[in-house]
Structure 1
């Protein structure tokens, strides 16, 4: 039985990362039913429970060494692992476990990763040093490929595919009629550098409520977003607004988004959830990965290509409502296209697994 070890930001109650892990497991097992999958996780018991795989703690060096030693294929990804915005040790950690796999002569693949931002020269040097030694690099967007090449990564094959989460696209997505009481889901995150986001979203939420909509604040990362969502609802002060503060499992998040008429998102995977479910989005960018996804799918990027204010968001939502069927079809088109790319990533992983000695 072949063994695959997965390294990523797993076990931290981030609905986006948990959903992409679920998608990776589903599509890999579809292609290779008997494959054994082991996950390096921040909460191994939760990962075992949610995903039905073996898991060890990512910071237990003996456990990590043991499972990497047993691996036939080591996968780093998906997600935005090689960036230094969330901390100075993020890049060294993820590349250290990659280096261990290389030292043990394992097949190594970067799986639909998003690269950057990388601000420090040490991080760029480390990425160049390690990445040029892996067997295969797949990335979720073209901008990530450009960043890697700019850092001097040239040796392994680099393929732009798509985010793994799009493997969760339903087989059939029919017409999405607007309900009698439409609902807008806001998936926001606190970000001090993004000026005006809070005021703009509150103005949009008031506008929607005045037009008869319900508003739901959905924290996608329980640890980081919950308190901000509660604060936003309190500032809004309207009975038509609610906060999902419990049951923040990724499957619950997908179900909530599937019932929405519109998603207003800052979190990348919130925008991806809506797209894969055929729900129109308004995207606000705090990071190049969000900008890249919105641009790749032909959407305005508020805060980057379009000014971020209450008025501009209201104008956009009015445009979407006016062209609602077209917007739903646009989301479904991209969902189908990105599903093919997500499945191609898994096929490439299985092909690499078959080349093991």
Structure 2
């Protein structure tokens, strides 16, 4: 049995980890940490977890005795604590952005904080679970991808890897529900501000832009820049990423669709929709799936790829558990086979 702890236990990412891990046959939740709710029963914060007897704990590194710690915290937390846990031979899966970017200057520019040490950034393994070789016995630190990058990179990966697009033509138009902002109070997610409203935000400076660029630049073996515009929509969960790219050779919609089907044929959680079908966020709600729809404007040789995920599951906690499974040599779908909730 794999014993785990969760840091940031009162947030949305943590409660999704708890929901999913409770159904994982190989995992036992041993610790749930929250510095603001020490000693409180978890079911006081989340009454729907009334059957759980856990109390929030203070994170005292000397007292932690488990195999893996998940950090479901804002950025600028895990980089201070994770290295000390690793010294105790406790594996870390970090759902924040502290270990995703390998360039410390870029982290400073986009996060406004001093980055982790270069040694620990180099030690971290950034793992889009479908393509990460995380079944390494000596792997100690996984940087779990962000929600926008997950939806976007799963859609872009076949195009960049197969060298079928002009790499300087990538435009990403992405929408997210408000749960991506977490539980902390902020004016832009107040009901009166968000309801019946639709807004672009963080244009050119969103933290996930360099994360997307870093990954696909490595994949293409050349520096790639993208145009990325995130939007906030009045829904709780979900990301829809619409990606526009110029093809570098003549392709039909059928041809590109075949590329995607072959590419993801043995990937449990990526579902390629039939031609003419485009996924909706409701169709992956509560699941670890990523659904992808494909269109080709054959006259202009422009491909439009639509990718949807649940930002709290595939975009955070679900993928973290998928990475845990791969780390321990388990079937990647263990504990993650819930059907989407619909409607």
TM-score, with length taken from structure 1: 0.40
Provide the TM-score with structure 2 as the length reference: 0.41
Higher helix share: 1
